Amino acid sequence: MAEDPALAVGVVRLDPDLPLPRPALPGDAGWDLFARVGTVLAPGGGRAVVPTGIALVLPEGSAALVLPRSGLAVRHGVTCLNAPGLIDAGYRGEVQVVLVNTDPVEPYEVHRGDRIAQLLVQRLDPLRVFEAEPAALAPTARGTNGFGHSGR
């Protein structure tokens, strides 16, 4: 029998009236998260922590990222302030989203049940950190050129 390659993620419904996370279309990588409460984001940087009504049971060796919805960003200037938000496998509290309204003029009203962000769950490769000698920084084409080094 073939092993199931799917990453099993438990979702605990803290609000039985909200849907579980789900992709908008089959095959989408991001799964929609829904607002448990409504709020108004003031223009020019108004922000709020919006609960989603779920908690996750992530397997060890995985993490979840909370990402903005592109449609909210394009149409309303609403995005996730700490994008991506990181949910570690050991976290057992309610998933919450920090939303911010970048529109300089219009407030944005979040309604209960609105799709407010996307959840992306990733397997993590084990990481081993070691101290390297400065000589390990072999020259590259980029070198030490940082932000904006390649121009417009």
| Bind-site residues for substrate | 69-71, 82, 86-88
Alpha helices in the chain (DSSP H): 70-76
Q: Which residues contact 94 (CB under 8 A, 6 or more apart)?
A: 14, 36, 51, 52, 53, 54, 55
Q: How far apart are CA 98 and CA 137, in angstroms?
A: 37
**Alpha-carbon gap, residue 4 to 70, rounded angstroms:** 31
Sequence letter at residue 114 = D
- The token pair at 125 is 């490769």
| 3-class secondary structure, 71 | helix
Q: Is 135 helix (H, G, I), strand (E, B) or coil?
A: helix
Q: Tokens in use for 55? A: 């908690």
